[in-house]
């Protein structure tokens, strides 16, 4: 898509939304609370033009929001434990709000540091495992009990000790019966109102998945939906919260309204995946898999976030399903959350660029480039390899707790690589490659502030340090501003793409650990520049004013 077309669609959307239903894409002034912790977040109103929905679709929205709220309750248990017990210990209103934002007493934007007196470090395994269990304990137990290992390592089980002190796997459908039964009921009620056959079938199947702990059939059905306006991503999905092994899926939900015009214009890029896969800068064995041909790319307004995706830093684009079998058979769907994306651009990226990007390159910071970089990040998740080339199993299993951060790093760098290649091929004609490069550099400063507790934060630390070593940017000591060095940037993008793809294909856990130890940290110079952003009062991320009261 031409950048001018994207810009025209943005303006059209703004005109429609400004006629009475609220404008999720317009800048919302960051109002200071006076509390430094809360002021890390800018409040953003999530809304959409409800007039484009049918009466039945409007009735579905509150049912889907209620289902999402059950995911919120389940994620609280996974991330911390009993929410009410924690809240009863907190007397300060601002502190309560900060705990709600973080789904617990640890600051997700400050490397999970505890902010409640008397609270210790956050367990690496969150609440998925017994608090006294170490990583070595788990691995040893699985090795000596092979009959139980598969269930213990499942994405969809909680690990607990039985009366004899041994480890047991409790299926999510049993452990979270109250929450999942409630959510399933709301999904079934919404399904009965659905006018699109694919959406109706998906909601019924997803409700069944919650109750039966079997998500692949509904993932397949979700991939087959093409014509729905309403969508709901719901269930146990990402594994970021499990920083011990990266193998326990977290409950979350998004309630979405598709922008069909945007989605139709974006569709052509998903069709290019097989060709882009063939052109990756690695030996053939690292690109031997063929991405699914049913992949698609859609744009949405989000009207509700819940659970994992609502904790700390907020997602602005989605690539799902994560199931490698589904990806190889059906591909994946990339969901661009344009109202949330626009809010982060206005509230955070532009102020960061004003503070840290060289003035003569400031003109290259554009929303079109931010949208494109984010979009191709999600497309890039479908590239590379899902199963190791040397019999070490899936990349996710081989790289353990490092898999999420490296995958996010892969998607970021391959996304920029793809933009470069598509410009060379004439598929992207408007704007300049420097727009993507400079906006990408500013985006590193935005995301690295998420900290080492975030897979995205660690991925950005790695990329910043790799780029710095490669000379992809320079920093003026007098002004403290950064500028892209175009030729070096292109070389660094290719080199880092090659390195990450080979680490994944080899399932090289030791190599990834070494790379993260060397380059996954914030150095003193960068930290000083990040501190400047805080001093300038630039928020780190957003929180949402959301729900039916906003949409009415």
Assess whether pLDDT exceeds 60 at residue 26.
Answer: no
Say how far apart CA 102 and CA 96 lie, in whole Å. 10
Mean pLDDT (whole number) for 261-272? 73
DSSP H or E run through 171: strand 167-171
8: left (phi over 0), alpha (psi -120 to 50) or beta: alpha
Assess whether pLDDT exceeds 90 at residue 459.
Answer: no
Name the pLDDT band for 3 (thresholds 50, 70, 90). very low
Predicted local confidence at residue 1, as pLDDT: 39
Identify which has the larger pLDDT, 127 or 411: 127
Say how far apart CA 254 and CA 236 lie, in whole Å. 12
CA distances from 433 to 50, 179, 268, 379, 465 (A): 37, 47, 20, 18, 22
Most confident of 71-85, 337-351, 443-457: 71-85
Is 104 within a domain? no
Say how far apart CA 348 and CA 343 lie, in whole Å. 8
Is 148 within a domain? no
Predicted local confidence at residue 490, as pLDDT: 94
Give 140-143's long-range contacts (Cβ < 8 A, gap of 24+).
141/166, 141/167
Q: What CATH number has the domain bearing residue 69?
A: 3.30.540.30
Assess whether pLDDT exceeds 80 at residue 10.
Answer: no
Identify which has the larger pLDDT, 455 or 269: 269
Mean pLDDT (whole number) for 372-378? 86
Mean pLDDT (whole number) for 380-393? 89
Predicted local confidence at residue 116, as pLDDT: 93
Assess whether pLDDT exceeds 60 at residue 7.
Answer: no
Predicted local confidence at residue 295, as pLDDT: 62
Mean pLDDT (whole number) for 289-309? 84
Taking only the tens place, the pLDDT of each residue in 100-121 is 999 999 999 888 999 999 999 9
Expressed as residue numbers, the domain containing 401 is 3-25+35-74+175-542
Is 161 within a domain? no
Mean pLDDT (whole number) for 340-345? 93
Is 108 within a domain? no
Mean pLDDT (whole number) for 197-211? 98
Parallel, antiparallel, or unpaired for β 317-320 and 157-161?
Answer: unpaired
Mean pLDDT (whole number) for 431-445? 95
Predicted local confidence at residue 353, as pLDDT: 97
Identify which has the larger pLDDT, 377 or 190: 190
Is 422 within a domain? yes
Taking only the tens place, the pLDDT of each residue in 476-520 is 989 999 999 999 999 999 999 999 999 999 999 999 999 999 988
The upper half-sphere exposure of residue 189, i.e. CA atoms within 13 Å in the direction of its Cβ, equals 15
Average pLDDT, the chain: 89
Is 122 within a domain? no
Mean pLDDT (whole number) for 449-475? 85
Is 80 within a domain? no
Assess whether pLDDT exceeds 90 at residue 289.
Answer: no
Predicted local confidence at residue 23, as pLDDT: 39
Predicted local confidence at residue 8, as pLDDT: 34
Question: Domain count of the chain?
Answer: 1
Predicted local confidence at residue 294, as pLDDT: 58
Assess whether pLDDT exceeds 90 at residue 332.
Answer: no
Any idea of the CA torsion for 489, 493, 496, 501, to the nearest 10 degrees? 180
Is 117 within a domain? no
Identify which has the larger pLDDT, 74 or 111: 74
Percentage of the chain beyond pLDDT 70 is 91
Identify which has the larger pLDDT, 303 or 22: 303
Predicted local confidence at residue 273, as pLDDT: 77
Name the pLDDT band for 523 (thresholds 50, 70, 90). confident
The answer for residues whose C-beta is within 8 angstroms of residue 106's C-beta and 6 or more apart is 112, 113, 114, 115, 119, 122, 453
């Amino acid at each position: 898509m031409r950048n001018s077309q994207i810009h025209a669609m943005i303006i059209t959307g703004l005109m429609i939304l400004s006629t009475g239903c609220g404008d999720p894409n317009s800048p919302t002034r960051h109002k200071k609370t006076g509390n430094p912790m809360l002021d890390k977040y800018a409040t953003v109103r999530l809304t959409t033009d409800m007039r484009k929905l049918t009466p039945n679709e409007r009735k579905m929205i509150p049912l889907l929001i209620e289902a999402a709220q059950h995911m919120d309750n389940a994620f609280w248990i996974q991330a911390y434990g009993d929410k009410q017990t924690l809240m009863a210990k907190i007397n300060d209103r601002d502190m309560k709000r900060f705990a709600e934002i973080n789904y617990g007493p640890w600051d997700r934007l400050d490397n999970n540091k505890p902010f409640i007196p008397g609270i210790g470090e956050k367990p690496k395994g969150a609440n998925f495992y017994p608090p006294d269990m170490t990583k070595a304990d788990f691995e040893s137990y699985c090795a000596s009990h092979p009959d139980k290992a598969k269930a213990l390592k499942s994405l969809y089980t909680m690990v607990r000790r039985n009366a004899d002190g041994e480890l047991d796997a409790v299926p999510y459908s049993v452990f979270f019966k109250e929450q999942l039964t409630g959510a399933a009921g709301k999904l079934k009620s919404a399904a009965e109102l659905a006018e699109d056959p694919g959406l109706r079938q998906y909601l019924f199947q997803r409700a069944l998945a919650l109750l039966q702990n079997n998500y692949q059939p509904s993932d397949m059905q979700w991939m087959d939906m093409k014509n729905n306006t309403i969508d709901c991503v719901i269930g146990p999905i990402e594994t970021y919260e499990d920083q011990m092994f990266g193998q326990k899926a977290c409950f979350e939900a998004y309630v979405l309204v598709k922008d069909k015009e945007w989605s139709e214009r974006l569709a052509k890029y998903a069709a290019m995946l097989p060709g882009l896969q063939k052109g990756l800068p690695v030996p053939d064995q690292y690109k031997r898999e063929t991405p699914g041909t049913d992949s698609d790319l859609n744009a949405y307004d989000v009207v509700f976030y819940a659970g994992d995706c609502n904790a700390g830093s907020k997602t602005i684009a989605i690539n799902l399903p994560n199931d490698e079998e589904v990806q190889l058979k059906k591909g994946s769907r990339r969901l661009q959350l344009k109202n949330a994306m626009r809010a982060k651009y206005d509230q955070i990226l532009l102020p960061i660029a004003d503070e840290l990007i060289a003035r003569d390159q400031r003109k290259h910071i554009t929303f079109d480039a931010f949208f494109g970089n984010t979009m191709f990040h999600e497309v890039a998740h479908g590239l590379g390899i899902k199963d190791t080339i040397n019999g070490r199993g899936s990349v996710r299993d081989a790289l353990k707790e490092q898999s999420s951060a490296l995958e996010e790093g892969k998607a970021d760098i391959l996304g920029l690589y793809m933009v470069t290649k598509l410009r060379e091929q004439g598929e992207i004609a408007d704007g300049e490659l420097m727009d993507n490069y400079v906006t990408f550099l500013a985006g590193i400063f935005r995301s690295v502030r998420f900290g080492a507790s975030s897979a995205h934060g660690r991925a950005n630390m790695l990329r910043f340090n790799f780029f710095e070593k490669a000379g992809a940017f320079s920093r003026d000591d007098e002004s403290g501003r950064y500028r892209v060095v175009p030729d070096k940037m292109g070389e660094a993008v290719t080199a880092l793409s090659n390195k990450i793809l080979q680490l994944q294909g080899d399932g090289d856990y030791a190599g990834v650990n070494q790379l993260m130890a060397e380059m996954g940290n914030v150095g003193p110079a960068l930290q000083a520049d990040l501190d400047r952003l805080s001093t300038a009062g630039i928020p780190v991320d957003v929180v949402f004013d959301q729900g039916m009261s906003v949409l009415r």
